[in-house]
Chains A and B, each alone.
Chain A
Amino acid sequence: MADEERRLVEAGQRGDIEAFNQLVEMYERRVYNLCYRMLGDADSAADATQDSFLSAFRHLQRFRGGSFRSWLLRIATNTCYDVLRSRKRRPTISLDAARESEDGMIPFDPPDPGESPDEFALRRERSKVLEEAIAALPEDQRITVILSDVQGLSYNEIAEITGSNLGTIKSRLSRARARLRDVLKARELLPSRYRHTDE
């Protein structure tokens, strides 16, 4: 897989757009989800994802090896920061966000097999509260907790993506987790069992 990825990257560096599009297909879900969690609405996330891939293709010559995923997620992270900065300069209300806040819609999440309706409803409620709590986190804590606990990346990779050192990552992550724990505890939504689910 790594060899195949390297071959596609090299082809992309030579201007082969079809090869690069294979990389896009490999990572678009991850990049889109990162942007969605960081920006909080589908339209901004789609724009940021498209911009990230476009920027990645234009600057592919600058990729000097290592993890292509980290390099790509770093571009996506910076794109999200740019969007957030521009929002601060020109505050606008996202129609998506407004619609979501009105009817409480969250991304489609089908029930797990064997999950009772009550459990499913509780999980939906918990997800909604968590998403709001994540959106309320400071940006540096938000990106850290998304990359670590939502996307399941290692501390080293998060440090590479965010350009921070390991100590900073540990500190941001623990603070973010503590905040989210407090929110869930206040709503009595902390799950009673530890369950690890991969992507």
Chain B
Amino acid sequence: MTINQRPRRDQQGQDHLELLSAYLDSEVSAEEQSRVELRLHNDTTLVDEFEELQSTCAALRELAWVTPPRSFTLDASTVRLPKTRSLLWMRFGGVFATLLVAATFMTMFSMTDGTSNIASATPQTGNPNTFLSPVSEVALPPVAAEEEESVPMDEAGSTFRESGEIGAVAFPTASIASPERKPRDESESIPSQPLSPATGPIGQGAASGKTTAQPGRPGDLAVVPSPGTVAEAPDAQEPAATGHGPGQNAILGFTLLIVGLLMTIGGLGLLSWLFLGHPAR
């Protein structure tokens, strides 16, 4: 017997056993029945095998039926409880879904509005913990603190009040930060002006004119990080510059809203499947 003959014989044996087993239950076609009966008539080993199967089935049928330990009739309170639970889930699920959709909607629109106004909004808040804060932390301490001490507050204030100077100082900073954006005209760079007061000490340092005038000094560090500041400002202006209008924002918002709704429905379905049990399959 070769190696390849064994699986074939096993398969034949299985087919043969399957046919005998089905014949035992009268679950064969007329053609199969006559074939099995002919073989049983001629093959004594097949008869033995068939009788063994018969005996096995007889032993299985002899297995005692177990008496249930109790009645399984349903109690009205047992049956009603899951319904209440289901309604409870639906109610809270609905509230949750509404809140989620509202939150998605508000977040989305605040993001799109905030993107276009981010440069101007930041100085108004005057919060040092905004995206500009790393600049003041990294760049300023050694020199800017020095500059703060050397420049009285009144002077600094008067310096800021001189709008012409602010423009003169802040604008070159933007030019240093992104020379490849040079083709932009002045009107594009102007929104970077309000960044200077937000940086506080940077503005003061820059306003004093010392850091930009002496590149070899550590004061340059106060200017170098400002690309981070200014590099974000042109990006923030991108939507307006590239023509992203409120219509596109609305489409984006609507898409996100639909996605949020679908995710909510899917999540609720999953929750109800998990907590309310499997349906009859």
**B177 CB within 8 Å of chain A:** no
Asked whether, in the complex, the Cβ of A55 is within 8 Å of the Cβ of B277, the reply is yes
Given contacts A49-B68, A55-B278, A155 and B25 within 8 Å (CB-CB)? yes
Are B21's CB and A149's CB within 8 A? Answer: no
Contacts of A36 on B, CB cut-off 8 Å? 66
Q: Chain B residues with Cβ under 8 A from A127's Cβ?
A: 59, 62-64
Q: Of B22, B74, B76, B278, which one neighbours A170 at CB under 8 angstroms?
A: B22
Please report whether the interface of chain A is mostly helix, strand, loop or mixed according to DSSP. Answer: helix
- CB atoms of B73 and A25 under 8 A apart: yes
A53 near B74 (CB under 8 angstroms)? yes
Question: Are A177's CB and B68's CB within 8 A?
Answer: no
Interface stretch, picked from A3-11, A86-94, A189-197, is A189-197
B9 close to chain A: CB less than 8 A: no
Contact of A24 among B64, B65, B74 (CB under 8 A): B74
- Mask, B53-69, CB within 8 Å of A = 1, is 11111111111111111
Alpha-carbon distance between A31 and B27 when the two chains are bound, in angstroms? 25
How long is the Cα–Cα vector from A42 to B66 in the complex, in angstroms? 9
Query: Is B281 an interface residue, CB under 8 A from the partner?
Result: yes
The residues of A that contact B71 with a CB separation of less than 8 Å are: 24-25, 28
CA distance A20 to B78 in the complex (A): 14
Instruction: Tell me how far the C-beta of B86 lies from the nearest C-beta in chain A, rounded to whole angstroms.
Output: 9
CB distance A184 to B59 under 8 Å? yes
Are A29 and B62 in contact, with the CB atoms below 8 A?
A: no
By a CB distance below 8 angstroms, the chain B residues around A123 are 62
Query: How many Å from the CB of B21 to the closest CB on chain A?
Result: 4
Please measure, in the bound complex, the distance between the C-alpha atom of A163 and the C-alpha atom of B79, giving whole angstroms: 28
Does B72 make an interface contact (CB < 8 A)?
yes
**A165 proximal to B (CB < 8 A):** no
Most chain A C-beta atoms within 10 Å of own C-beta, residue among B17, B18, B57, B72 = B72
Known: A54-B78, A174-B18. A155 touches B60 (CB 8 A): no
Complex Cα gap A17–B59 (Å): 39
Nearest CB to that of B70 among chain A residues?
Answer: A46
* Cα distance, A172 to B78, chains bound together (Å): 38
Taking a contact as CB atoms under 8 Å apart, the answer to whether A177 and B82 are in contact is no
Tell yes or no: B279 within 8 A of A by CB. Answer: yes
User: Which of the residues A49, A82, A163, A177 comes within 8 Å of B56, measured between beta carbons?
Assistant: A177
Alpha-carbon separation in the docked complex, A181 to B63 (Å)? 15
Annotate A4-34 by CB proximity to B: 1 below 8 A, 0 otherwise.
0000000000000100110011001101110
Report the minimal beta-carbon distance from B47 to chain A, rounded to whole angstroms.
13
Q: Which of B21, B69, B280 has the most CB of A within 10 A?
A: B280
What chain B residues lie within 8 Å of A29 (beta carbons)? 65, 67-68
Residues of A within 8 A of B74 (CB): 17, 20-21, 24, 53-54, 57
Query: Are A62 and B280 neighbours in the complex by a CB distance under 8 Å?
Result: yes
Residues on A with C-beta less than 8 A from B165 are none
How far apart sit A49 and B71, CA to CA, in the bound complex (Å)?
10
CB atoms of A190 and B68 under 8 A apart? no
Would you list which residues of chain A between 31 and 55 have a CB under 8 Å from chain B?
31-33, 36, 42, 45-46, 49-51, 53-55
The minimal Cβ–Cβ distance linking A135 to chain B, given in whole angstroms, is 12
Bound: A195/B59 CA distance, A: 8
Which residues of A are found within 8 Å of B277, using beta-carbon distances?
51, 55, 58
B19 to chain A, nearest CB (A): 8
A191 touches B59 (CB 8 A): yes
| Binary per-residue interface labels of chain B (28-66) against chain A in the complex, 1 for a CB within 8 Å, 0 otherwise | 000000000000000000000001111111111111111
Measured CB to CB, the nearest residue on chain B to A82 is B278
- Closest 6 interchain pairs by CB? A109-B64, A174-B21, A149-B60, A21-B73, A32-B68, A59-B280
Chain B positions within 8 Å of A, measured between CB atoms, are: 14, 17-18, 20-22, 25, 27, 51-74, 76, 78-79, 82, 277-281
Q: What are 26 residue pairs bridging A and B, where the CB atoms are less than 8 Å apart in the complex?
A: A29-B65, A31-B72, A33-B65, A33-B66, A42-B66, A42-B69, A49-B72, A58-B82, A62-B280, A78-B281, A82-B278, A107-B64, A108-B67, A123-B62, A126-B59, A130-B59, A149-B57, A152-B61, A174-B18, A174-B20, A178-B17, A178-B53, A181-B53, A181-B55, A191-B58, A194-B58
